[in-house]
Amino acid sequence: MQTLTVVVPAYNESEGLREFHARLVAVFAGLDLDCSVLYVDDGSDDDTFAVMRSLAANDARVATLRLSRNFGKELALTAGLDHTDADAVVVIDADLQDPPELIREFVAHWRAGCDVVYGTRASRDGETRLKKLTASTFYRVIGRLSDTPVPRDTGDFRLLSRRAVDALKRVRERQRFMKGLFTWVGFRQKAVVYARDPRFAGATKWNYWKLWNFAIDGITSFSGAPLKLATYLGLGVAVLSFVFGLWIVAKALLFGDPVQGYPTIMVTILFLGGVQLIALGVIGEYLGRLYVESKQRPLYLVDEYQPTR
């Protein structure tokens, strides 16, 4: 019988974990597959791991993995994929915004020959207008900048075939943008449109500062466009400055130039200084990533791993 493993990264999700597992078990009952689930605790501060261990004690299909600290969702997800060896792997969050029942449709497309089946959100219930606007803007910006097309309005909820997972395991970069990596591996991919539900319990762990940094990681991981933009911006400012300098010289020769122009000088200096700082900041983002990669630290550290029984 073919095997299916569901990887569930979680951080402080104890309130809704039991309800999630109950719905997932109902999905397993309708699949003619050897199903299991791997819960990954990303260094939670609450009793999330205790709930995971309780689920494992009552269900032999449950495996648990606890990281030594909070490494972030991207690395928790990577740890989960590293500890799977199934014919197909489903990645899903524990907050029940993505319905586990959609796994049945994912499996059908996988059996039809797809290697990656991902959920595309037609709506995002329970989220503010600002959150929806920023998310929509991010996906459209990275879609235009990235050399690897990243599907719009698509999160981590997806099914991966064994060869897609094996390909991802070969990618060991430290600062990871999994939504881009899922697409980067290629193979045959299929979108499934669905309506995203509100969180079942608790509050989101993503504030706007974390989302901003996540967006920067995504763009700089899959596009060199910001570096090109800094180059073009510097070139444009240099041309404008040269033209402005010619105008000042011509004006002085034709009409004279009494001791004036302090505001113009200050505006010019501040403008050029600002452009230079922006360019240096963009370069610094990329250099920072090279620095992190050069240290070759492990992606994550495991505190405890309990496989299925």
Q: Is residue 220 part of a domain?
A: no
Q: Which two tokens stand for residue 271?
A: 């403008």
How many Cβ atoms sit within 10 Å of the Cβ of residue 179?
A: 22
Task: Supply the pTM of this predicted model.
Answer: 0.71
Do 92 and 125 meet the contact criterion of CB atoms below 8 Å apart? no
Number of compact structural domains in the chain: 2
Going across the sheet that includes 302-306, the strands are: 189-196, 116-124, 154-161, 88-91, 3-10, 34-41, 62-67, 302-306
Do the domain assignments include residue 172? yes
Any idea what the CATH number is for the domain that residue 128 is in? 3.90.550.10
Model confidence over 180-220: pLDDT tens digits?
788 888 888 888 888 877 665 556 555 556 666 656 665 66
- What are 178's two structure tokens? 């999994």
Same-domain pairing of 200 and 252: no
Asked if 139 and 280 sit in the same domain, the reply is no
Same domain flag for 162 and 271: no
My answer on whether 139 and 288 are in the same domain is no
- Which segment, 65-69, 225-229, 261-265, is predicted with the most confidence on average? 65-69
Taking CA atoms, 226 is separated from 232, 238, 281, 283, in Å, by: 10, 18, 10, 9
Burial 202-222 (b: 16+ CB within 10 A, else e): eeeeeeeeeeeebbebbbbbb
Domain residues for the domain of 242 are 225-295
pLDDT by residue (tens digit) across 106-158? Answer: 999 999 989 999 888 877 665 667 666 766 676 676 666 666 777 777 778 88
H or E stretch at 159: strand 154-161
In this predicted structure, what is the pLDDT of residue 160?
Answer: 92
| CA 10 to chain CA centroid, nearest Å | 15
Tell whether the model's pLDDT for residue 273 goes beyond 90: no
Q: Domain check: are 291 and 201 in the same one?
A: no
Burial 122-141 (b: 16+ CB within 10 A, else e): eebeebeeeeeeebeebbee
**Residues in CB range of 143: below 8 A, 6 or more apart:** 149, 150, 152
Whether residue 173 is found in the same domain as residue 272: no
Say whether both 198 and 243 belong to one domain. no
**Pair (127, 167) in one structural domain:** yes
Band the pLDDT of 21: cuts 50, 70, 90: very high
According to the model, what pLDDT value does residue 221 have? 64
pLDDT bin (cut points 50, 70, 90) of residue 38 is: very high
**Spatial contact of 33 and 2, defined as CB atoms under 8 Å apart:** yes
- Percent of the chain exceeding pLDDT 70 equals 71
Residue 218 belongs to some domain of the structure? no
| 216 within a domain of the structure (yes/no) | no
161 plus 232 within the same structural domain:
no
Average pLDDT, the chain: 79
How many CB atoms are closer than 10 A to CB 65?
25
pLDDT at 297: 78
Percent of the chain with pLDDT over 90: 20
Q: Are residues 281 and 302 in the same domain?
A: no
Task: With beta carbons less than 8 A apart as the criterion, state whether 41 and 10 touch.
Answer: yes
- Distances from the Cα of 108 to the Cα of 105, 116, 192, angstroms: 5, 12, 11
Asked if the structure places residue 254 within a domain, the reply is yes
Asked, for residue 24, whether it belongs to a domain, the answer is yes
pLDDT in the model for residue 159: 93
In this predicted structure, the answer to whether residue 64 has a pLDDT above a threshold of 90 is yes
Question: Do residues 61 and 35 touch, judged by C-beta distance below 8 A?
Answer: yes
